[in-house]
Amino acid sequence: QGWPHVISIISRASGAPVIAKALAYTAAVAAAALPSVVQEELRMAKEAGLESVLLGMRKKPVAGEEDVLCPAAEPTDEEIHGIDVLNIEEAVRELWKAAIYAESAMGCTGPVIKISSKNLEKAEQCLKKSGYL
Protein backbone atom coordinates (compact mmCIF):
# COMPACT_ATOMS: atom_id res chain seq x y z
CA GLN A 1 0.00 0.00 0.00
CA GLY A 2 1.23 3.44 -0.84
CA TRP A 3 4.24 2.18 -2.79
CA PRO A 4 4.59 4.35 -5.92
CA HIS A 5 7.25 2.29 -7.69
CA VAL A 6 7.36 -0.74 -9.96
CA ILE A 7 10.05 -3.24 -8.99
CA SER A 8 11.12 -6.24 -11.03
CA ILE A 9 13.42 -8.92 -9.70
CA ILE A 10 15.20 -10.72 -12.50
CA SER A 11 17.66 -13.57 -12.09
CA ARG A 12 20.83 -12.92 -14.01
CA ALA A 13 20.88 -16.65 -14.74
CA SER A 14 17.76 -16.18 -16.89
CA GLY A 15 19.63 -15.24 -20.04
CA ALA A 16 19.36 -12.28 -22.39
CA PRO A 17 16.00 -13.14 -24.05
CA VAL A 18 14.20 -13.58 -20.73
CA ILE A 19 15.77 -10.45 -19.26
CA ALA A 20 14.83 -8.43 -22.36
CA LYS A 21 11.19 -9.57 -22.10
CA ALA A 22 11.15 -8.90 -18.36
CA LEU A 23 12.43 -5.36 -18.89
CA ALA A 24 9.84 -4.77 -21.63
CA TYR A 25 7.11 -6.03 -19.30
CA THR A 26 8.35 -3.78 -16.49
CA ALA A 27 8.32 -0.79 -18.84
CA ALA A 28 4.76 -1.63 -19.92
CA VAL A 29 3.41 -1.87 -16.37
CA ALA A 30 5.22 1.33 -15.39
CA ALA A 31 3.71 3.13 -18.40
CA ALA A 32 0.28 1.81 -17.41
CA ALA A 33 0.69 3.27 -13.90
CA LEU A 34 0.50 -0.09 -12.15
CA PRO A 35 0.94 1.36 -8.63
CA SER A 36 -2.18 3.50 -9.00
CA VAL A 37 -4.11 0.52 -10.39
CA VAL A 38 -3.02 -1.54 -7.36
CA GLN A 39 -4.10 1.25 -5.00
CA GLU A 40 -7.55 1.39 -6.59
CA GLU A 41 -7.94 -2.41 -6.50
CA LEU A 42 -6.94 -2.46 -2.81
CA ARG A 43 -9.39 0.33 -2.04
CA MET A 44 -12.23 -1.59 -3.68
CA ALA A 45 -11.21 -4.84 -1.97
CA LYS A 46 -11.24 -3.13 1.42
CA GLU A 47 -14.68 -1.69 0.72
CA ALA A 48 -15.82 -5.21 -0.15
CA GLY A 49 -14.57 -6.57 3.21
CA LEU A 50 -11.04 -7.78 2.49
CA GLU A 51 -9.81 -7.06 6.03
CA SER A 52 -12.45 -9.26 7.66
CA VAL A 53 -11.74 -12.07 5.19
CA LEU A 54 -8.02 -11.92 5.96
CA LEU A 55 -8.64 -11.86 9.70
CA GLY A 56 -10.89 -14.89 9.38
CA MET A 57 -8.15 -16.82 7.59
CA ARG A 58 -5.60 -16.36 10.37
CA LYS A 59 -5.19 -19.20 12.79
CA LYS A 60 -6.24 -18.06 16.25
CA PRO A 61 -3.55 -18.28 18.94
CA VAL A 62 -4.36 -20.59 21.80
CA ALA A 63 -4.20 -18.92 25.22
CA GLY A 64 -1.47 -20.33 27.41
CA GLU A 65 0.12 -22.29 24.59
CA GLU A 66 3.19 -24.16 25.80
CA ASP A 67 6.69 -23.53 24.57
CA VAL A 68 7.66 -26.01 21.89
CA LEU A 69 11.25 -27.16 21.49
CA CYS A 70 12.72 -27.71 18.07
CA PRO A 71 13.63 -31.36 17.42
CA ALA A 72 17.23 -32.20 16.55
CA ALA A 73 18.24 -30.73 13.20
CA GLU A 74 18.43 -33.03 10.21
CA PRO A 75 19.02 -32.56 6.48
CA THR A 76 16.03 -31.13 4.64
CA ASP A 77 15.65 -32.34 1.08
CA GLU A 78 11.93 -31.75 0.50
CA GLU A 79 9.61 -28.73 0.58
CA ILE A 80 5.97 -28.29 1.50
CA HIS A 81 4.23 -25.51 -0.42
CA GLY A 82 0.83 -23.87 -0.02
CA ILE A 83 0.97 -22.46 3.50
CA ASP A 84 0.13 -18.79 3.94
CA VAL A 85 3.20 -16.71 4.73
CA LEU A 86 1.37 -15.27 7.75
CA ASN A 87 1.03 -18.77 9.22
CA ILE A 88 4.32 -20.37 8.19
CA GLU A 89 6.04 -20.10 11.59
CA GLU A 90 3.01 -21.49 13.42
CA ALA A 91 2.91 -24.39 10.96
CA VAL A 92 6.57 -25.15 11.68
CA ARG A 93 5.82 -25.14 15.41
CA GLU A 94 2.94 -27.56 14.78
CA LEU A 95 5.40 -29.96 13.17
CA TRP A 96 7.82 -29.54 16.08
CA LYS A 97 4.98 -30.54 18.43
CA ALA A 98 4.76 -33.77 16.43
CA ALA A 99 8.55 -34.25 16.86
CA ILE A 100 9.16 -33.50 13.17
CA TYR A 101 12.14 -31.29 12.36
CA ALA A 102 11.14 -28.48 10.00
CA GLU A 103 12.40 -25.08 8.88
CA SER A 104 10.56 -22.19 7.27
CA ALA A 105 12.09 -20.70 4.15
CA MET A 106 11.27 -18.63 1.11
CA GLY A 107 11.25 -20.65 -2.09
CA CYS A 108 11.18 -19.37 -5.65
CA THR A 109 7.39 -19.24 -5.67
CA GLY A 110 6.72 -18.27 -2.07
CA PRO A 111 6.97 -19.56 1.48
CA VAL A 112 7.89 -23.20 2.04
CA ILE A 113 8.53 -25.56 4.90
CA LYS A 114 11.74 -27.50 4.47
CA ILE A 115 11.49 -31.08 5.69
CA SER A 116 13.35 -34.38 5.33
CA SER A 117 11.97 -36.76 2.73
CA LYS A 118 11.51 -39.46 5.39
CA ASN A 119 9.03 -37.18 7.23
CA LEU A 120 7.29 -35.62 4.24
CA GLU A 121 4.10 -37.71 4.29
CA LYS A 122 3.75 -37.53 8.08
CA ALA A 123 4.34 -33.75 8.01
CA GLU A 124 1.73 -33.19 5.29
CA GLN A 125 -0.82 -35.23 7.25
CA CYS A 126 -0.04 -33.25 10.41
CA LEU A 127 -0.44 -29.92 8.60
CA LYS A 128 -3.72 -31.03 6.98
CA LYS A 129 -5.08 -32.20 10.32
CA SER A 130 -4.19 -28.88 11.96
CA GLY A 131 -5.68 -26.81 9.11
CA TYR A 132 -2.54 -25.37 7.55
CA LEU A 133 -2.90 -27.32 4.29
The DSSP call for residue 109 is T
User: In this structure, are strands 78-81 and 110-115 parallel, antiparallel, or unpaired?
Assistant: antiparallel
Q: How far apart are CA 6 and CA 20, in angstroms?
A: 16
Q: How far apart are CA 77 and CA 69, in angstroms?
A: 22
Catalytic residue among 9, 24, 62, 108: 108
Active site residue 108: yes
Sign of the Cα pseudo-torsion (120, 133, 86, 1, in order) = positive
Q: How far apart are CA 22 and CA 47, in angstroms?
A: 33
Catalytic residues: 108
